Amino acid sequence: MSGWLPFAPDASHAGADPRLAGARLTIDLSALAENYRLLVRQAAPAKVAGVVKADAYGLGIEPVARALWRAGCRTFFVALPEEGIALRAVLRDAEIFVLNGLFGPEAAPAYAAHRLMPVLGSQSDLSCWEAFGWDGDRPRPCAIHVDTGMNRLGLTADEAFAFAEENALTGALSPRLLMSHMACADDPRHPLNRQQLESFQAVKRAFGQTDSSLSNSAATFLGPAFAFDMVRPGIALYGGAPVNGRENPMLPVVTAEARIVQVRHARPGETVSYGAHAKLDRDTVIAIASAGYADGYHRAGSQAGVPLRGVVKQSACGVTHGRRVPVLGRITMDLTMFDVTDLGTAVAPGDWIELFGTNIAIDDAAAAAGTISYELLTSLGRRYHRTYVGGE
Q: Which residues are catalytic?
A: 53, 274
Is 150 flagged in the annotation as binding?
Answer: no
Biggest alpha carbon distance in the chain?
Answer: 80
Whole-number Å distance between alpha carbons of 349 and 369:
26
| Sheet with 116-120, side-by-side order of all strands | 47-48, 230-231, 211-215, 173-179, 140-145, 116-120, 95-98, 75-78, 50-51
Number of C-beta neighbours around residue 359 at 10 A: 16
Is 24 flagged in the annotation as binding?
Answer: no
- Give Cα 235 to chain centroid, integer Å: 5
Cβ-proximal residues to 52 (8 Å cutoff; 6+ apart), any chain = 61, 64, 65, 68, 76, 77, 78, 83, 87
Whole-number Å distance between alpha carbons of 329 and 338:
8
Query: Which residues are bridge partners to 146 per DSSP?
Result: 155
Residue spans of alpha helices (H) in 147-186: 157-170
Whole-number Å distance between alpha carbons of 111 and 113:
6
Whole-number Å distance between alpha carbons of 279 and 329:
8
Binding-site members for substrate are: 152, 333
